[in-house]
Amino acid sequence: MLYYLYLATRNKIRMKKKAIILGATGLTGSHLLELLLEDPNYETVKVFTRRKLPNIHPKLEEHVIDLLELSNYADKFTADVVFCCIGTTKAKTPNKELYRAVDYGIPVEAAKLCKQNGINSFIVISALGANAKSKVFYNRLKGEMERDVLAQQIEHTQLLQPSLIVGDRDEKTMGEDLSKKIMKVIGFLIPARYKMIEGKTIAKAMVKMANEPAKETRVPSEKIKEIAKKIRKEEG
């Protein structure tokens, strides 16, 4: 909270901003929503979601829609910055065509709407190992998404590439549980970029990057943690 009071003091003459969040019901997106509602830099936080949120807040503007038809809501897709936290899993979405429609289609369509509506800041969660030429479906999909988002040439495009995202959520994944067990035993041997990262850490970094854009277009997991740590230092 002290960080946001600090921002309010430092930025008295700045215009209040409007943000859009895609994926606000997920692990990282829910943390991000809480942070933006507290952040004095923002006067409005628009959420495009497939189900109604429990949150009630004067800053919150909610649009319950089919995210696969995001292009139909171009007139409402106006803001200063867009945060895309969209992502599914193989367990939730075994159909590869639907998986692609979610993890590739929604972020790319959002980027096109940013370009169309003059939004010059787009921050999207991708993944470690994203590579459009990969033989691995997930890595290739994320790489293709990155490629086509960057093709829109939005002025401030930042692609976060976290490793395995963990945190408190309704359903745990097998990979998350297994990784936690491995980390307890040999975590000290694993390079920083491959270590698990909490959703709330990513959310904090996204807020920081929106207020102060990172120099890198692609931001790996260890750098995300560094950015989030800066907030803790500023909070004192």
Residues 14 and 1: their CA atoms lie apart, in Å, by 19
Pairing relationship of beta strands 81-84 and 60-64 according to DSSP bridges: unpaired
138 assigned to active site: yes
Helix (H, G, I), strand (E, B) or coil at 129: coil
Element counts in the chain: helices (H) and strands (E): 8, 9
| From 17, 142, 208, 225, active-site residue | 142
The residues, any chain, with a CB within 8 Å of residue 98's CB and separated by 6 or more, are: none
18 assigned to active site: no
| From 138, 194, 229, 230, active-site residue | 138
**2-10 vs 221-235: helix crossing angle, rounded to 10:** 80
Helix (H, G, I), strand (E, B) or coil at 231: helix
Which active-site residues does the annotation give? Answer: 138, 142
